[in-house]
């Protein structure tokens, strides 16, 4: 059974008044059909919302901690502005088990990283320093529970109220200590939001982009977050809103020398 192919886009056929009289009604119909086909095949330029452009132009709010590239492994003290309390880190690790798609993978990576940090901090005091091979080392680390209770030492955070309840929340990232979390010069980000009855709930978890930050913009009283990805030919900005207790990507903009255009989320 043969299939009828859709008509190809082609320039419309235009007839002058004299030609129309010469060729009659059929020529007029052909001309109208060609003009309508041209209109149907003309590509439409997607529009970018003015509010999205305004948000994309906003500078990051000042973070409560230092630059992410913090250098060598060290003991992070509770008095430091980017400190993540261990109960928050443990809640994050536990809730990753129920996080869709990447949760298990992220949890395993965080466990691996916290173990590496703990062993590095122990130095020569590690009971596994004589273990032979990666498998023996991993078994030894698990046996001694290295890093199990010090997950926060692998993390840092920007502290600010995101959900509008007056309590500071956490935009958490890794400290670039191990490639399990910071592969390919990217970064992993988590958002933990305070809850009415106490504690914190996971609202975002992903290998997001080199940068995730809050800007001076709100939707329904909730802070807007922005992902920023610099590329050779321009810059991609993703805007995240808090919806049903989770931060979700709402829109994507790409900026180059020609201005702003939509991009895929």
pLDDT in tens, 171-226: 999 887 777 776 555 678 999 999 999 999 999 998 756 789 999 999 999 999 99
Q: Is 76 inside a domain boundary?
A: no
DSSP the chain: -PPPPPPPP-PPP---HHHHHHH-HHHHHHHHHHHHHHHHHSPPPPP--HHHHHHHTPPPPPPSS--S---S--PPPTTSTT---HHHHHHHHHHGGGSTTTHHHHHHHHHHHHHHHHHHHHGGG-TTTT--HHHHHHHHHHHHTTTTT-GGGGEEEEEE--SSSSS-EEEEEE-S--TTTSGGG--EEEEEEE-TTSSEEEEEEEE--SEEEEEEEEETTEEEEEEEEEETTEEEEEEEEEETTEEEEEEEEEEETTEEEE---
pLDDT band at 54 (very low <50, low <70, confident <90, very high): very high
Q: Is 46 inside a domain boundary?
A: no
pLDDT at 16 > cutoff 70: no
pLDDT at 10 > cutoff 50: no
Q: Is 170 inside a domain boundary?
A: yes
Q: Is 14 inside a domain boundary?
A: no
Domain tally, the chain: 1
pLDDT at 1 > cutoff 50: no
pLDDT at 28 > cutoff 60: no
Which residue range(s) make up the domain with 246?
Answer: 81-263
pLDDT in tens, 216-256: 999 999 999 999 988 889 999 999 999 999 999 999 999 99
Q: What percent of the chain has pLDDT over 90?
A: 54
Q: Is 55 inside a domain boundary?
A: no
Q: Is the pTM of this model over 0.85?
A: no
pLDDT in tens, 127-140: 887 776 777 788 88
Q: Is 219 inside a domain boundary?
A: yes
Averaged pLDDT, 84-110: 95
Q: Is 157 inside a domain boundary?
A: yes
Averaged pLDDT, 17-46: 50
pLDDT in tens, 68-93: 555 688 899 999 999 999 999 999 99
Q: Is 175 inside a domain boundary?
A: yes
pLDDT in tens, 254-264: 999 999 999 99
């Amino acid at each position: 059974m043969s299939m009828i192919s859709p008509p190809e886009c082609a320039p419309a056929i235009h007839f002058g008044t004299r030609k129309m009289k010469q060729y009659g009604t059929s020529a007029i119909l052909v001309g109208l059909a060609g003009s309508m086909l041209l209109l149907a095949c003309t590509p439409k330029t997607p529009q970018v919302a003015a509010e999205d452009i305004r948000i994309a132009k906003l500078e990051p709010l000042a973070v409560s901690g230092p630059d992410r590239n913090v250098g060598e492994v060290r003991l992070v003290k509770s008095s430091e502005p980017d400190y993540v309390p261990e109960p928050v880190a443990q809640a994050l690790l536990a809730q990753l088990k129920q996080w869709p798609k990447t949760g298990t993978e992220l949890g395993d990576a965080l466990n691996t990283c916290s173990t590496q940090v703990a062993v590095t901090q122990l130095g020569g005091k590690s009971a596994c320093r004589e273990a032979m091979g990666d498998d023996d080392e991993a078994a030894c680390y698990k046996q001694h529970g290295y890093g199990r209770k010090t997950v926060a030492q692998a993390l840092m955070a920007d502290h600010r109220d995101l959900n509008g309840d007056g309590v500071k929340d956490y935009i958490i990232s890794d400290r670039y200590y191990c490639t399990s979390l910071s592969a390919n010069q990217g970064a992993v980000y988590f958002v933990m939001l305070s809850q009415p009855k106490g504690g914190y709930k996971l609202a975002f978890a992903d290998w997001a982009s080199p940068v995730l930050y809050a800007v001076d913009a709100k939707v329904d009283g909730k802070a807007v977050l922005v992902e920023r990805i610099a590329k050779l030919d321009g810059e991609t900005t993703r805007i995240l809103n808090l919806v049903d207790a989770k931060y979700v990507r709402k829109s994507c903009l790409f900026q180059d020398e020609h201005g702003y255009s939509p991009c895929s989320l």
